[in-house]
């Protein structure tokens, strides 16, 4: 099963995207509809609201008078928190029931208006955000909902900013143009990413890089992509994870790299990851174990550094997750090398030159990875000396 979070600001076209996903075969769960369902007449939710706020929040037919309730809760923070304390657990429970009832091979799209504001992103395999310029949204709200311009702008201003939404978005669907363009983008996303992603999650298959070597100019979104992956890993693993870091070339600003996000998870013991229950959580979360990878080269004694390796099931985001024991030599080296690269323009330039030199004569990623080993060995002492001279310490967490 693949869980997709769908969100977007008012007037962005999120409902259009949700409808198209439903037509394509997704199980769509609409948080707004559930919020109404759990306070319908005769429900325990409505009873609890009346007990807390009184009969004045009911209309003449005994249903919830939303304007009356809104006037109370939007004017008082404590009242709003009390309302959320009643409705949120009910909505969460109903959502869980609907997810549990979905087929094992379902793509579940959860339509959540406040996904960004509530920081729900790590709970999904992927977050899709529908975006449109503020002026476009204002015009839509005035035309389709009859809102006054001032009211439309006020509603937009009360929600998350586009910058906040972009930080949360694995996929940004631009919707400033024609509706048909948006629907085409949704269809492409469904066919090329979501369907294979679901199959990979279900079968415990990781997405792998092409063997043909390709170096990319620095992508300013690499750190944000890494941050979202790390947040998901923490959500899946809980306190099994002690540290979680973006490492490797994509973690070094200005450095050319393969388009592969390298992450390092620090654990108390590798046995924690080997636990079958933990591996199953990782598989369901979209991070399957890569079999056969049990160590790295030891750059001190030329032996081996124990580790485990996880992959990403997302076909559009290749990631290598290196799991090492906190404080181990391999764990420490990954952080020292990254921070040495970040701190020193000379070291960065040398590494970039070496990458380009190898790429000029090597065609496959496997050969390229092996060919870099002598250079790593040659700079080992320099990186360690830098760490000692600067008083370097591992970053917390």
**Is 118 flagged in the annotation as binding?**
no
For residue 342, give the CATH number of its domain: 3.30.460.10
In this structure, the answer to whether residues 64 and 27 fall within a common structural domain is: yes
Q: Give residue-wise pLDDT tens across range 138-174.
A: 999 998 888 888 888 988 888 889 999 999 999 999 9
Residue 4's pLDDT is 98
The rounded distance, in Å, linking the Cα atoms of 232 and 235 is: 5
**Domain-terminating residue out of 153, 170, 203:** 203
Q: By the 8 A CB rule, do 10 and 155 touch?
A: yes
In this structure, the answer to whether residues 193 and 240 fall within a common structural domain is: no
Six token digits for residue 48 = 């609890």
What is the β-pairing status of strands 308-311 and 319-325?
A: antiparallel
pLDDT < 70 stretches in the chain: 298-302, 397
Is the residue at 217 inside a domain?
Answer: no
Residue 272's pLDDT is 97
In this structure, the answer to whether residues 28 and 160 fall within a common structural domain is: yes
Task: Give the HSE-up count for residue 295: Cα atoms under 13 Å, Cβ half-sphere.
Answer: 9
In this structure, the answer to whether residues 258 and 354 fall within a common structural domain is: yes
Domain that holds residue 160: 2-203
CA-nearest of 52, 120, 113 to 86 is 52
3-state secondary structure of 215: coil
3-state secondary structure of 60: coil
In this structure, the answer to whether residues 10 and 114 fall within a common structural domain is: yes
Is the residue at 395 inside a domain?
Answer: no
In this structure, the answer to whether residues 280 and 198 fall within a common structural domain is: no
Is the residue at 216 inside a domain?
Answer: no
Is the residue at 170 inside a domain?
Answer: yes
**Is 14 flagged in the annotation as binding?**
yes
3-state secondary structure of 34: helix
**Domain-terminating residue out of 173, 203, 233:** 203
The rounded distance, in Å, linking the Cα atoms of 310 and 282 is: 9
Domain count, the chain: 2
**Is 312 flagged in the annotation as binding?**
no
For residue 177, give the CATH number of its domain: 3.40.50.300
Q: 253: which DSSP letter? A: T
Residue 75's pLDDT is 79
**Is 15 flagged in the annotation as binding?**
yes
In this structure, the answer to whether residues 172 and 250 fall within a common structural domain is: no
In this structure, the answer to whether residues 238 and 385 fall within a common structural domain is: yes
In this structure, the answer to whether residues 193 and 229 fall within a common structural domain is: no
In this structure, the answer to whether residues 232 and 169 fall within a common structural domain is: no
**Domain-terminating residue out of 203, 232, 267:** 203
In this structure, the answer to whether residues 168 and 234 fall within a common structural domain is: no
In this structure, the answer to whether residues 142 and 239 fall within a common structural domain is: no
**Is 22 flagged in the annotation as binding?**
no
What is the β-pairing status of strands 243-247 and 261-267?
A: antiparallel
> Can you list the alpha helix ranges (DSSP code H) found in 74-130?
77-101
């Amino acid at each position: 099963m693949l869980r997709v979070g769908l969100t977007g600001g008012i007037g962005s076209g999120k409902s259009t995207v949700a409808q198209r996903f439903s037509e394509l075969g997704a199980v769509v769960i609409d948080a707004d509809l559930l919020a109404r369902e759990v306070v319908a007449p005769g429900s325990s939710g409505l009873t609890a609201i009346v007990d807390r706020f009184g009969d004045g929040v009911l209309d003449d037919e005994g249903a919830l008078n939303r304007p009356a309730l809104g006037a109370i809760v939007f004017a008082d923070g404590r009242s709003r928190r009390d309302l959320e304390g009643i409705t949120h657990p009910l909505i969460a429970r109903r959502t869980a029931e609907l997810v549990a009832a979905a087929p094992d091979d379902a793509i579940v799209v959860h339509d959540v208006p406040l996904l960004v504001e509530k920081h729900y992103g790590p709970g999904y395999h992927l977050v899709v955000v529908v975006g449109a310029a503020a002026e476009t949204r204002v015009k839509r709200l005035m035309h389709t909902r009859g809102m006054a311009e001032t009211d439309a702008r006020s509603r937009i201003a009360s929600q998350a900013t586009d910058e906040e939404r972009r930080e949360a978005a694995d996929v940004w669907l631009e919707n400033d143009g024609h509706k048909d363009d948006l629907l085409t983008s949704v269809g492409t996303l469904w066919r090329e990413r979501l369907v294979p992603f679901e199959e990979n999650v279900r079968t415990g298959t990781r997405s792998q890089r092409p063997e043909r070597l390709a170096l990319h100019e620095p992508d300013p979104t690499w750190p944000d992509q890494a941050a979202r992956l790390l947040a998901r890993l923490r959500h899946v693993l809980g306190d099994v994870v002690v540290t979680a870091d973006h490492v490797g070339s994509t973690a070094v600003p200005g450095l050319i790299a393969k388009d592969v996000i390298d992450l390092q998870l620090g654990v108390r013991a590798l046995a924690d990851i080997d636990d079958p229950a933990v591996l199953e959580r990782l598989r369901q979360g979209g991070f399957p174990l890569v079999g056969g990878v049990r160590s790295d080269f030891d750059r001190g004694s030329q032996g081996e550094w124990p580790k485990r390796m996880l992959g990403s099931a997302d076909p559009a985001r290749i990631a290598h997750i290196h799991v090492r024991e906190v404080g181990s030599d391999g764990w420490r080296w990954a952080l020292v090398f990254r921070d040495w690269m970040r701190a020193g323009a000379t070291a960065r330039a040398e590494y970039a030159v070496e990458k380009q030199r190898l790429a000029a004569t090597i065609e496959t990623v496997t050969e390229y990875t092996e060919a870099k080993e002598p250079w790593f060995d040659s700079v080992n002492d320099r990186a360690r000396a830098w760490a000692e001279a600067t008083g370097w310490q591992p970053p917390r967490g």
